[in-house]
Amino acid sequence: MNEESRLHPRQPIELPVVLIATSYLATRVSDAKSLDISEGGISLFTRQSLTDGQQVSVEFAQPHISQLIHLRAVVKHRQEDRYGMQFLSTTPEQAHYIRLMVGQA
């Protein structure tokens, strides 16, 4: 997807992310790294194998703030170990923290 067709602007940012995924009744927690983020989703690198349409949880902290952000997301696409995920819902407070991260607040 090109940047002009995106609803929310993306901001390149590298942050440690905790990825929680459940498949076949097994839950797996793994480390990931964000590559960019927007109010609508996140792109991240992980060695954990995920499938398009899979729902996951992601947790990360905004730089310089100890507030942990926990969001549900769905895998939209994959390119090797890079995944594009769309947030399923955000609270107004979470959306505010993300806007701060992308310089839109």
Per-residue pLDDT of 52-95, as tens digits, reads 999 999 999 877 777 789 999 999 999 999 999 999 989 999 98
Which residue range is the domain that position 12 belongs to?
Answer: 3-101
Q: How far apart are CA 36 and CA 42, in angstroms?
A: 6
Write out the H or E segment, with its range, that includes residue 34: strand 26-38
Of all residues in the chain, the percent with pLDDT exceeding 70 is: 92
User: pLDDT value at position 57?
Assistant: 97
pTM of the predicted structure, to 2 decimals: 0.87
pLDDT > 70? residue 28: yes
Helices (H), the chain: 92-101
User: pLDDT value at position 105?
Assistant: 55
For residue 76, the domain's CATH number is: 2.40.10.220
DSSP 35: E
Q: What is the domain count for the chain?
A: 1
- Of 75, 105, 80, 104, whose CA–CA distance to 10 is shortest? 104
